[in-house]
C-alpha cells in the first residue's frame, strides 16, 4: 500500500513539474495567435508552490527525486526571479536629477459604492499629498466636469498638490448632461509638451502617453496603460446554487464561462501589448511605463515589456508584491517599468490601507 501511494505521489509530482515547465514557456507565446497556453502561464505561482511542497516531501524520502525539481527550476529560473523579488540591484547613487513616480488604479474613487471603502477619493488625495510625486498616473479615473464641483477631481488634485499640469483622456461620458467623465490621467509637476493616446479597438481599456520636460532640459515619454480587463464578478465564483430543469450545474458551466473570458482577455491584451511595444520602440525619448496590465510577471505581456524596460519592483521589492486587492489574491498586475538608462533609487507599495481594489505604487529614479 505504501509503495502504491508513493507511485501515485511520484506521478503527480512529475505532472506538476511538467506543468511548471510549460507554464513558464507558454508565457512566450503570443496569445493573440494562440490563447490557450496563457491559461497555464497565469498559474505559474500556484504551480511553483505545489512543486516546492512536493520537493520538500521527497527530500525526506527519496532524495534523488529532488534533483528533478532543481533541474526544472534551472529552466524556469527567470520566471521565479520575476515572481519573487529579492532586492538585488537597488542603486545608492546620489543625484539631484530625481523623479518620483506614483501610479494606481483608483476604481473611479468608489463613486458608485461598489466597495465598502468610505471616502476613497479623500484617502487617495491625502496619500498623493503625503508622497508628493512629480508624476502621477491614474487608471479608472473619475471627474465631474462642472467647474467648482467637489467631485471635479481634476481640479481638486491640481489645486491641492504641486501637479499643475495634466492630461485627462476621457473614455466615457455619463449622466444626464454627460458631465461625469471616466478615463485615465497623467498629472505632472513639470510641463507636458506633447500628449496622445494609442487607439484600442473594441474595448473600454486605454493607453495614453505624454512627453514631459524635466529640469535641465531632459524630456521623457511616459505611458499610462490599462490593458484588457477580464471583467470577472463575484457571482462567477459562487458555485452554491444549482440550475433549474435540465440545465448543466453551476460547478460545470461557471468554470467554462471563466475560461472563455480569460481566453478573450488574453488575446486582446496580447494585441494591445504588441501596439504598446511598437510605440515604446519608436519613442524618440527615454520611456517610463506605468499602469494596470491585468497580467502576471510570467506572461507574454510582461516578457514583451521586459525586453525594452526594467521592472522597478525587482530592484527594491521583496516577495510576491501583490498589487491587486480584489477577489483573486496574490496577484501582481500593476507595474512601473523604467528605461534602462534610468536608475531605480527606491520602490514601495502603499498597502497599509485599502483605498481601491489596487494598491498604489511609488518609485523614485535618477535620470
Q: In terms of domains, do 307 and 173 share one?
A: yes
Residue 315 lies in a domain: yes
Average pLDDT, integer, range 18-36: 93
Question: Do 288 and 218 contact (CB within 8 A), yes or no?
Answer: no
Residue 233 lies in a domain: yes
Q: In terms of domains, do 70 and 108 share one?
A: no
Q: What is the pLDDT of residue 235?
A: 64
Residue 88 lies in a domain: no
Q: 87 — phi, psi (to 5°)? A: 50, 70
End position of a domain, from candidates 48, 83, 118: 83
pLDDT at 69 over 80: yes
Confidence of residue 238 (pLDDT cuts 50, 70, 90): low
End position of a domain, from candidates 53, 83, 113: 83
Question: Do 166 and 187 contact (CB within 8 A), yes or no?
Answer: yes
Residue 92 lies in a domain: no
- Which of 24-28, 105-109, 166-170, 259-263 is the least confident region? 259-263
Question: Do 166 and 183 contact (CB within 8 A), yes or no?
Answer: no
Q: What is the pLDDT of residue 247?
A: 63
CATH number at residue 312: 3.60.10.10
For 104-117, b/e burial (b = at least 16 CB within 10 A) is: bbbbbbbbeeeeeb
d(CA 169, CA 207): 9
Q: What is the pLDDT of residue 261?
A: 82
pLDDT at 126 over 90: yes
d(CA 85, CA 266): 25
Q: What is the pLDDT of residue 56?
A: 93
For 148-168, b/e burial (b = at least 16 CB within 10 A) is: eeebbbbbbbeeebebebbbb
Express each pLDDT in 241-293 by its tens digit. Answer: 555 556 666 656 667 777 888 889 999 999 999 999 999 999 999 999 999 99
Hey, what's the cell of 123? 484617502
User: How many domains does one find in the chain?
Assistant: 2
**Of 312, 358, 289, residue with least CA distance to 135:** 289
Q: Compare 257 and 111 and report the one with higher pLDDT.
A: 111
Percentage of residues of the chain with pLDDT beyond 70: 90
Question: Do 230 and 205 contact (CB within 8 A), yes or no?
Answer: no
Q: In terms of domains, do 8 and 153 share one?
A: no
Q: In terms of domains, do 73 and 206 share one?
A: no
Task: Give the ranges where 150-194 is alpha helix by DSSP (H).
Answer: 153-160
- Which of 39-53, 160-174, 184-198, 227-241 is the least confident region? 227-241
Q: In terms of domains, do 74 and 158 share one?
A: no
Q: In terms of domains, do 276 and 351 share one?
A: yes
Residue 242 lies in a domain: yes
Q: What is the pLDDT of residue 234?
A: 61
Residue 89 lies in a domain: no
Confidence of residue 36 (pLDDT cuts 50, 70, 90): confident
pLDDT at 321 over 80: yes
Confidence of residue 180 (pLDDT cuts 50, 70, 90): confident
Give the domain extent around 218: 98-366
Q: In terms of domains, do 76 and 143 share one?
A: no
End position of a domain, from candidates 83, 107, 132: 83
Q: What is the pLDDT of residue 237?
A: 62
Hey, what's the cell of 159? 489645486
Residue 93 lies in a domain: no
- Which of 114-123, 157-166, 170-179, 320-329 is the least confident region? 170-179
- The helices-and-strands tally (H runs, E runs) of the chain is 10, 14
Hey, what's the cell of 173? 461620458
pLDDT at 342 over 60: yes
Q: What is the pLDDT of residue 47?
A: 96
Q: Compare 136 and 238 and report the one with higher pLDDT.
A: 136
Q: In terms of domains, do 102 and 79 share one?
A: no
Q: In terms of domains, do 34 and 149 share one?
A: no
Residue 162 lies in a domain: yes
> Strand pairing partners for 41?
none
Q: In terms of domains, do 102 and 144 share one?
A: yes
pLDDT at 240 over 80: no
Q: In terms of domains, do 203 and 309 share one?
A: yes
Express each pLDDT in 198-222 by its tens digit. Answer: 999 999 999 999 999 999 889 999 9
**Of 10, 4, 118, 120, residue with least CA distance to 65:** 10
Average pLDDT, integer, range 215-231: 93
Q: In terms of domains, do 61 and 109 share one?
A: no
Confidence of residue 183 (pLDDT cuts 50, 70, 90): very high
Average pLDDT, the chain: 89
Amino acid at each position: 500500500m505504501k509503495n502504491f501511494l508513493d507511485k501515485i505521489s511520484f506521478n503527480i509530482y512529475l505532472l506538476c513539474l511538467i506543468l511548471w515547465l510549460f507554464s513558464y514557456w507558454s508565457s512566450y507565446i503570443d496569445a493573440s495567435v494562440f490563447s490557450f497556453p496563457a491559461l497555464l502561464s497565469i498559474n505559474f505561482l500556484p504551480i511553483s508552490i505545489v512543486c516546492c511542497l512536493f520537493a520538500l516531501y521527497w527530500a525526506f524520502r527519496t532524495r534523488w527525486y529532488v534533483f528533478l525539481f532543481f533541474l526544472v527550476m534551472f529552466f524556469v529560473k527567470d520566471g521565479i526571479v520575476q515572481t519573487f523579488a529579492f532586492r538585488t540591484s537597488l542603486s545608492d547613487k546620489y543625484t539631484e536629477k530625481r523623479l518620483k513616480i506614483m501610479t494606481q488604479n483608483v476604481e473611479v474613487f468608489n463613486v458608485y459604492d461598489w466597495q465598502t471603502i468610505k471616502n476613497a477619493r479623500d484617502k487617495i488625495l491625502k496619500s498623493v499629498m503625503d508622497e508628493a510625486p512629480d508624476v502621477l498616473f491614474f487608471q479608472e479615473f473619475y471627474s465631474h466636469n462642472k467647474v467648482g464641483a467637489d467631485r471635479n477631481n481634476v481640479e481638486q488634485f491640481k489645486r491641492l498638490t504641486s501637479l499643475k499640469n495634466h492630461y485627462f483622456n476621457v473614455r466615457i461620458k455619463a449622466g444626464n448632461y454627460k458631465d461625469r467623465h471616466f478615463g485615465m490621467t497623467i498629472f505632472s509637476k513639470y510641463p507636458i509638451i506633447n500628449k496622445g493616446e494609442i487607439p484600442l479597438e473594441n474595448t473600454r481599456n486605454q493607453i495614453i502617453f505624454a512627453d514631459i520636460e524635466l529640469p535641465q532640459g531632459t524630456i521623457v515619454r511616459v505611458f499610462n496603460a490599462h490593458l484588457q480587463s477580464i471583467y470577472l464578478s463575484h457571482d462567477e465564483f459562487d458555485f452554491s446554487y444549482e440550475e433549474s430543469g435540465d440545465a448543466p450545474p453551476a460547478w460545470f458551466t461557471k468554470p467554462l464561462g471563466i475560461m472563455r473570458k480569460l481566453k478573450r482577455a488574453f488575446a486582446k491584451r496580447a494585441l494591445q501589448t504588441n501596439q504598446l511595444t511598437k510605440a515604446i520602440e519608436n519613442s524618440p525619448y527615454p520611456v517610463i511605463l506605468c499602469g494596470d496590465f491585468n497580467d502576471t510577471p510570467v506572461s507574454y505581456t510582461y516578457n514583451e515589456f521586459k525586453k525594452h524596460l526594467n521592472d522597478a519592483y525587482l530592484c527594491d521589492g521583496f516577495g510576491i508584491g501583490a498589487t491587486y486587492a480584489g477577489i483573486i489574491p496574490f496577484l501582481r498586475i500593476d507595474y512601473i517599468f523604467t528605461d534602462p538608462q534610468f536608475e531605480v533609487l527606491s520602490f514601495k507599495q502603499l498597502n497599509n490601507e485599502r483605498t481601491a481594489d489596487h494598491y498604489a505604487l511609488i518609485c523614485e529614479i535618477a535620470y
